[in-house]
A = this chain, B = another copy of it.
């Protein structure tokens, strides 16, 4: 494919530009080294390392390790929370504007006692405990009727906004459903009303047959690079069976999710030398948790390019890499 191409994301209905003159080969995105390999197991200054509880925050939840002689994962209250539960959700008028208190929850999921661990390189049992921890806390917090959205995300590396190296994810719960989510839901609803099917299920079925962009698969999940990936090596992990809410995953799905997450992050780690990335679990807002057109998925975006003024003004991404070439490179 020599000429340029613009592709429509079937879910968000945003366009993405693939520019032949800017096109890079997948190996051009390889990082020069894997910095974590030189790290120590315990860091006396790290607030997430065992023994440093005096500098860490309140322990919300702890899951013991297999030997029951310590913890495997922990949830801590965030030292610098974006939102706090000591507020209400009553909105007010400020001049001609609308505002509300900073109600919500913001917690840190410490994924391992080891400072130099990472999901890509941990034993699978340890990754399973991370997913178990996500799910346990998700169920607990989404039981509160004020909590409208639960966003579990992971920032890996400085370019992805991580300020601490110790492996961790974050969980933010809000008392609002943002427009960004409503718009996507509206697109999915229109698709459902037109075709009688979930757009995500249709994409899954097509990608499983077509296989051009698949980068991982097991009994419960498919991992693929979206047809209109916004950035090089973007990956979506999606449950094969229709499921709107991350909260409803079964035990079997939990271990399959852990396996495929480790598999695709492992591919990024091996092939691109541990790039910085963000991932987020996009799941149904509270009041949509049973809807036939909403489908949860984990979205991974490596931080390999810089978004600039054009993206800000248009919402269109310029991706210098082709999804099919990225998939081939990861599968080599």
Seen from chain A, the residues whose Cβ lies within 8 Å of a Cβ on chain B are: 3-8, 10, 12-15, 17-22, 79-84, 87, 94-104, 149, 151, 153-155, 158-162, 170, 172, 174, 176, 178-181, 183, 202-203, 206, 210, 227-228, 278-282, 299, 301, 306-310, 312-316, 318
Contact = CB atoms under 8 A, between A and B. Distances in A.
A81 B19 contact: yes
Given A178-B15, A314-B151, A309 B161 contact: yes
Contact of A309 (B79, B170, B316, B318): B170
Contact of A96 (B149, B181, B203): B203
Contact of A310 (B7, B12, B151, B307): B151
B8 A98 contact: yes
A306 B181 contact: no
A46 to B, nearest CB: 19
A140 to B, nearest CB: 19
A314 B181 contact: yes
A327 to B, nearest CB: 15
A161 B308 contact: yes
A71 to B, nearest CB: 24
Given A6-B102, A81-B19, A310 B95 contact: no
Given A309-B155, A309-B279, A178 B96 contact: no
B87 A4 contact: yes
B21 A80 contact: yes
Contacts of A278: 308-309, 312
9 contacts: A5-B99, A6-B100, A21-B80, A153-B310, A170-B309, A174-B314, A179-B315, A180-B314, A278-B308
Given A153-B312, A178-B315, A99 B21 contact: no
A22 B5 CA distance: 42
A142 B299 CA distance: 37
